């Protein structure tokens, strides 16, 4: 894309707020966390930018859904941007908002743009448990059914498989078997990786949990670190119970200079790539990798010159270990590479869709201290579904680096094998394609859910009841992955298929 040099997009200011309190009266609602983060970003830029704001992207708020969030923040800040856009949902969405804002600035359509998000789920949950009504702005009622139920296959919904904590383990178990790891080796890799994420969180002033956890504290199931869904413990899953807001302010190089923002504080948006998996988890060709993630990583690597060591800092999205474990293999990074500058969604905290705005803010601050360097910002959304990566740098890109068309969707789709048909009925033998075991709060298994393949190649979903101890023991063996092993499928009394390991 050829743009005028003065329209080269730059990030000029970032702001973050982490508000950790158990006192409900002190709780801050998401809109005020965002307003505070935007004011902080303006202070960081050192120029009166908010009065000139012409574009505002707000990351979708889950903890307190407002009927008119953009209008509300405009009134809070006394601004009236010509363009304001709210959502849509997705852990990758802040990366997309920053990328799209950069393109609008490059095209000359925007002078000053903001991306912001905020969540107060810690206070909202605490208030709900205490039966307290928070005296905050008007909110929408809770959605009666999970949003994902609308686009997931009815078989998955019937098995209760519509939450991230149950669906990411399907990728974890399939991918580590494909890498030839035993479950014990895979869990050790996750625990070590997460321990390193926690080390970074421990030094991030905005992190929720500022403490280094050892691999054993993360990987071993205990009363304080219960099993959530095999093989993930509570410390291996994102922690959404946080109160956090973040904002990023962007302009063109010409505006930044006009406003006197020092050159050494400007961070450039070089370019990026995006692709998606089919939304329905059962509508995918396999679970051992994500073609969309692969293509995004390969493309971003090529943009950086073909070697991931060009990135002096990275943020590989980390709602569950399998996401950065897959990404680092595609990038060709060593197992001990530092894959976060923020601390990860388990330790820094997971303000639902907005982690990546915090990650961008942290990378901007770090790049200012490390002149001439590149950073990789990779966000992921839904259920290994949406992938978006961006290269940020403390030096200008080549003039044509930022491309209008950053989708690598068709290349990702070209790699897909045929997707097997899903059957709701089957009786007889089948093999395990992937699975998870879902646990009660006291650590006992509630049930397992197996994704299987019939001898004809069709895909099915089948349940293992908690009473099926032999099958559960096979599924949770640390020495041998059950992926590819045989079982018998029959129909249960509730109409859902049942799975039993073959003797
Ligand atoms: C694209 C994507 O990003 S997909 C990811 C989407 N996000 C998710 O799926 C979130 C997954 N995580 C969760 O839902 C929750 O963390 C759960 C259900 C696993 C645990 O939540 P709860 O049952 O409320 O936690 P529990 O009652 O065991 O413990 C409460 C305490 O642990 C904390 N806590 C809750 N979850 C976590 C966690 N994952 N890690 C660390 N601490 C946590 C709470 O803040 C609370 O702390 P406090 O005592 O200081 O107030």
Average pLDDT score over residue span 145-170 = 94
Asked whether residue 93 is domain-assigned, the answer is yes
Task: Output the pLDDT for position 142.
Answer: 78
Task: Output the pLDDT for position 270.
Answer: 95
Contact 482, 430 (CB under 8 A): no
438 and 320 in one domain?
no
Asked whether residue 438 is domain-assigned, the answer is yes
Domain that holds residue 229: 154-235
Contact 464, 472 (CB under 8 A): yes
| 343 pocket-lining for ligand 1 (C-beta < 6 Å) | no
395 and 297 in one domain?
yes
The CA angle 444-222-447, to the nearest 5 degrees, is 20
Task: Output the pLDDT for position 30.
Answer: 98
* C-alpha separations of 286 from 297, 320, 435 in Å: 19, 18, 12
Which ranges of 54-120 would DSSP assign to H, the alpha helix?
A: 69-77, 93-106
Q: Whose CA is nearest to atom 20 of ligand 1?
A: 234
438 and 382 in one domain?
no
| 94 pocket-lining for ligand 1 (C-beta < 6 Å) | no
Find the 349 Cα to ligand 1 centroid distance in Å: 9
Of ligand 1's listed atoms, the one at least distance from the Cα of 122 is 45
Contact 409, 278 (CB under 8 A): no
Of ligand 1's listed atoms, the one at least distance from the Cα of 165 is 9
255 and 352 in one domain?
yes
Q: Whose CA is nearest to atom 7 of ligand 1?
A: 238
- Domain termination site, one of 414, 448, 466: 414
Average pLDDT score over residue span 49-69 = 97
405 and 285 in one domain?
yes
Contact 44, 14 (CB under 8 A): yes
Best residue among 202, 235, 237 to mutate for probing ligand 1's pocket (most ligand atoms within 8 Å of CB) is 237
Of ligand 1's listed atoms, the one at least distance from the Cα of 236 is 39
489 and 440 in one domain?
yes
Q: Whose CA is nearest to atom 13 of ligand 1?
A: 239
Q: Whose CA is nearest to atom 6 of ligand 1?
A: 164
Please report, for the domain that includes residue 264, its CATH number. 3.40.47.10
Asked whether residue 144 is domain-assigned, the answer is no
* C-alpha separations of 302 from 98, 187, 401 in Å: 20, 31, 12
Asked whether residue 286 is domain-assigned, the answer is yes
- Domain termination site, one of 381, 414, 447: 414
DSSP string, 434-492: EEEEEE-TTS-EEEEEEEEE-TTS-EEEEEEETT-HHHHHHHT-SSS--TT-EEEEEE-
| 237 pocket-lining for ligand 1 (C-beta < 6 Å) | yes
- Domain termination site, one of 203, 235, 267: 235
| 165 pocket-lining for ligand 1 (C-beta < 6 Å) | yes
At 268, list the tokens. 């450039």
Residue 257 CB neighbours (<10 A): 15
Please report, for the domain that includes residue 458, its CATH number. 2.40.50.840
353 and 263 in one domain?
yes
Sheet-wide strand order for 83-86:
83-86, 55-58, 112-120, 243-252, 9-18, 267-276, 386-393, 374-381, 311-316
| 239 pocket-lining for ligand 1 (C-beta < 6 Å) | yes
| 452 pocket-lining for ligand 1 (C-beta < 6 Å) | no
268 and 361 in one domain?
yes
Task: Output the pLDDT for position 2.
Answer: 77
Q: 295 pLDDT exceeds 90?
A: yes
Of ligand 1's listed atoms, the one at least distance from the Cα of 163 is 9
Average pLDDT score over residue span 301-327 = 96
Contact 113, 247 (CB under 8 A): no
Contact 306, 323 (CB under 8 A): no
At 293, list the tokens. 């993630």
| 349 pocket-lining for ligand 1 (C-beta < 6 Å) | no
201 and 160 in one domain?
yes
Task: Output the pLDDT for position 98.
Answer: 98
At 468, list the tokens. 């099926």
Task: Output the pLDDT for position 1.
Answer: 72
272 and 296 in one domain?
yes
| 238 pocket-lining for ligand 1 (C-beta < 6 Å) | yes
What's the chain's average pLDDT? 97
Q: Whose CA is nearest to atom 37 of ligand 1?
A: 239
Task: Output the pLDDT for position 145.
Answer: 72
If one counts the domains in the chain, the total is 3
Find the 350 Cα to ligand 1 centroid distance in Å: 9
Question: 419-422 long-range CB contacts below 8 Å, 24 or more apart?
Answer: 419/278, 419/283, 419/284, 419/285, 420/285, 420/453, 420/457, 420/458, 420/459, 421/458, 421/459, 422/153, 422/155, 422/282, 422/283, 422/458, 422/459, 422/460, 422/461
Find the 325 Cα to ligand 1 centroid distance in Å: 21
Residue 259 CB neighbours (<10 A): 16
| 228 pocket-lining for ligand 1 (C-beta < 6 Å) | yes
Of ligand 1's listed atoms, the one at least distance from the Cα of 235 is 40
Asked whether residue 139 is domain-assigned, the answer is no
Q: 497 pLDDT exceeds 80?
A: yes
60 and 110 in one domain?
yes
Of ligand 1's listed atoms, the one at least distance from the Cα of 240 is 10
Q: Whose CA is nearest to atom 1 of ligand 1?
A: 381
Q: 160 pLDDT exceeds 80?
A: yes
Of ligand 1's listed atoms, the one at least distance from the Cα of 226 is 28
| 380 pocket-lining for ligand 1 (C-beta < 6 Å) | yes
Q: 115 pLDDT exceeds 80?
A: yes
452 and 388 in one domain?
no
| 344 pocket-lining for ligand 1 (C-beta < 6 Å) | no
pLDDT category at 147 given cuts 50, 70, 90 is: confident
Average pLDDT score over residue span 289-299 = 98
Average pLDDT score over residue span 317-337 = 97
- Rounded distance, CA 452 to CA 55, Å? 48
Contact 258, 264 (CB under 8 A): no
Of ligand 1's listed atoms, the one at least distance from the Cα of 125 is 24
Find the 18 Cα to ligand 1 centroid distance in Å: 17
pLDDT in tens, 366-425: 999 999 999 999 999 999 999 999 999 999 999 888 999 999 999 999 999 999 999 999
Q: Whose CA is nearest to atom 31 of ligand 1?
A: 241
- Rounded distance, CA 8 to CA 456, Å? 55
Which ranges of 179-243 would DSSP assign to H, the alpha helix?
A: 183-203, 215-219
Q: 105 pLDDT exceeds 90?
A: yes
Contact 357, 117 (CB under 8 A): yes
Find the 239 Cα to ligand 1 centroid distance in Å: 4
Find the 238 Cα to ligand 1 centroid distance in Å: 7
Find the 121 Cα to ligand 1 centroid distance in Å: 10
Asked whether residue 138 is domain-assigned, the answer is no
Asked whether residue 137 is domain-assigned, the answer is no
Q: Report the DSSP pairing between strands 55-58 and 83-86.
A: parallel
Q: What percent of the chain has pLDDT over 70?
A: 100
Of ligand 1's listed atoms, the one at least distance from the Cα of 242 is 45
- Rounded distance, CA 490 to CA 503, Å? 15
Burial of 486: CB neighbours in 10 Å, binned 0-12, 13-18, 19+:
middle
Residue 103 phi, psi (nearest 5): -65, -40
pLDDT category at 143 given cuts 50, 70, 90 is: confident
Q: Whose CA is nearest to atom 10 of ligand 1?
A: 238
Asked whether residue 422 is domain-assigned, the answer is no
pLDDT in tens, 338-372: 999 999 999 999 999 999 999 999 999 999 999 99
């Amino acid at each position: 894309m050829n743009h005028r040099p003065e329209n080269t997009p730059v990030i000029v200011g970032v702001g973050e707020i982490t508000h950790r309190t158990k006192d409900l009266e002190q709780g801050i609602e998401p809109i005020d966390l965002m307003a505070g983060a935007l004011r902080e970003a303006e202070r960081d830029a050192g120029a009166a930018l908010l009065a000139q704001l012409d574009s505002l992207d707000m990351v979708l708020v889950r903890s307190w859904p407002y009927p008119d969030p953009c209008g509300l923040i405009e009134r809070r800040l006394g601004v009236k941007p010509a363009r304001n856009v709210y959502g849509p949902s997705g852990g990758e969405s802040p990366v997309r908002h920053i990328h799209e804002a950069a393109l609008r600035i490059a095209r000359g359509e925007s002078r000053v743009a903001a991306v912001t998000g905020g969540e107060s789920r810690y206070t909202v949950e605490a208030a709900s448990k205490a039966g307290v009504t928070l005296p905050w702005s008007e909110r929408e009622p809770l959605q009666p059914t999970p949003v994902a139920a609308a686009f997931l296959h009815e078989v998955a919904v019937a098995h209760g498989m519509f939450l991230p904590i149950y669906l990411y383990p399907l990728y974890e178990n399939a991918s580590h078997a494909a890498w030839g790891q035993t479950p014990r080796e895979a869990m050790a890799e996750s625990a070590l990786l997460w321990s390193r994420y926690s080390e970074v969180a421990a030094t991030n002033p905005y992190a929720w949990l500022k403490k280094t956890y050892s691999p054993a504290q993360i990987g071993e199931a205990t009363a304080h670190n219960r099993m959530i869904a095999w093989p993930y413990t509570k410390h291996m899953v994102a922690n959404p119970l946080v109160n956090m807001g973040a904002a990023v302010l962007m302009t063109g190089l010409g505006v930044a200079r006009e406003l006197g923002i020092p050159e050494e504080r400007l961070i450039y948006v070089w370019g990026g790539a995006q692709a998606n998996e089919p939304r329905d988890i059962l509508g995918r060709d396999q679970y051992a990798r994500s073609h969309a993630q692969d293509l995004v990583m390969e493309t971003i690597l090529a943009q950086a010159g073909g070697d991931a060591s060009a990135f002096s800092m990275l943020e590989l999205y980390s709602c569950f270990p399998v996401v950065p474990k897959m990404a680092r293999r595609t990038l060709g990074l060593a197992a001990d590479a530092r894959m976060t500058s923020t601390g990860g969604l388990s330790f820094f905290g997971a303000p639902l869709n907005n982690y990546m705005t915090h990650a961008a803010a942290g990378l901007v601050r770090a790049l200012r201290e490390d002149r001439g360097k590149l950073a990789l910002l990779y966000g992921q959304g839904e259920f290994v579904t949406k992938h978006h990566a961006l290269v940020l740098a403390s030096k200008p890109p080549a003039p044509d680096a930022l491309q209008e068309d950053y989708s690598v969707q068709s290349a990702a789709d070209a790699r897909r094998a045929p997707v097997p048909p899903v059957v709701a009925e089957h009786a007889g033998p089948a093999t395990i394609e992937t699975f998870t075991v879902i646990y009660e709060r006291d650590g006992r298994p509630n049930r397992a859910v197996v994704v299987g393949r019939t001898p004809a190649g069709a895909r099915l979903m089948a349940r293992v009841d908690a009473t099926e101890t032999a099958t559960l023991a096979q599924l949770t063996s640390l020495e041998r992955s059950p992926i590819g092993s045989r079982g018998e499928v029959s129909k249960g009394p509730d109409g859902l298929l049942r799975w039993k390991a073959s003797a």
